[in-house]
Chain A
Amino acid sequence: EAGVTQSPTHLIKTRGQQATLRCSPISGHTSVYWYQQALGLGLQFLLWYDEGEERNRGNFPPRFSGRQFPNYSSELNVNALELEDSALYLCASSYDGQGATEAFFGQGTRLTVV
């Protein structure tokens, strides 16, 4: 069974541009979570999608947005990129949104803003 897959693996963008990151959850998982891991910092919660709806977002500006498609895959969009957006972006999926089951993580997308 395939795990959580993220694309692209690496992404280099110029300040002010837009970045789109993609995530495919494990089959049967309806909840998708996005996290930012900046160098030297812990994972910071960005967004949670479940059943196609945004359920919660972390303390990030509105230029961080996303969506979840009918097949439960998800997209994270970052507009007006800033240098400090450079980080590893991790996607996770779980069977439920209540934390009763394990969350499984993808390998991440390394976003570099120059």
Chain B
Amino acid sequence: KQEVTQIPAALSVPEGENLVLNCSFTDSAIYNLQWFRQDPGKGLTSLLLIQSSQREQTSGRLNASLDKSSGRSTLYIAASQPGDSATYLCAVSPWSGYQKVTFGIGTKLQVIP
């Protein structure tokens, strides 16, 4: 059974810092990995999708990497802003499709002005 762990559970940083969020998974037979952002009481906003054949994806100040063999992904946020404050979720999808996707509990990020 796939398990997804996100460390740290919570993170507080001053505005402008670069930061790294970690995601690890136990079964390396994945189809893709997706990073989401969730604001309190809201739905999920897709940030980046990395296919299993890819090593990284970039969007603006965000960069996500994937090391499938070691079961790890990182989300790098450059020059953090208060608007980045949210919970960041990592989700791993197996070859059998999205209905079997496993989510991590998330990392709650607070960027202090």
| Chain A interface (Cβ < 8 Å from any Cβ of B) | 4, 6, 31, 33, 41-43, 45, 48, 55-56, 88, 90, 92, 94, 97-100, 102-108, 110
B107: chain A residues within 8 A (beta carbon): none
Count class of interface residues, chain B: 20 to 34
B54: chain A residues within 8 A (beta carbon): none
Which B residues from 59 to 113 make CB contacts under 8 A with A?
89, 91, 93-95, 97-101, 103-106
Which B residues from 39 to 73 make CB contacts under 8 A with A?
41-46, 49
Q: List 15 A-B contacts (CB under 8 A).
A: A4-B43, A43-B89, A56-B99, A88-B41, A92-B44, A97-B99, A99-B101, A100-B31, A100-B32, A102-B34, A102-B46, A105-B44, A105-B45, A107-B42, A108-B43
| Across the A-B interface, the 8 shortest Cβ-Cβ residue pairs | A48-B99, A105-B44, A99-B93, A107-B43, A99-B98, A43-B103, A105-B43, A56-B99
Q: How far is the CA of A4 from the CA of B43 in the complex (A)?
A: 10
- Whether the Cβ atoms of A99 and B97 lie closer than 8 Å is yes
CB distance from B89 to the nearest CB of A (A): 8
- Whether the Cβ atoms of A102 and B103 lie closer than 8 Å is no
The chain A residue with its CB closest to the CB of B32 is A99
CB distance from A7 to the nearest CB of B (A): 13
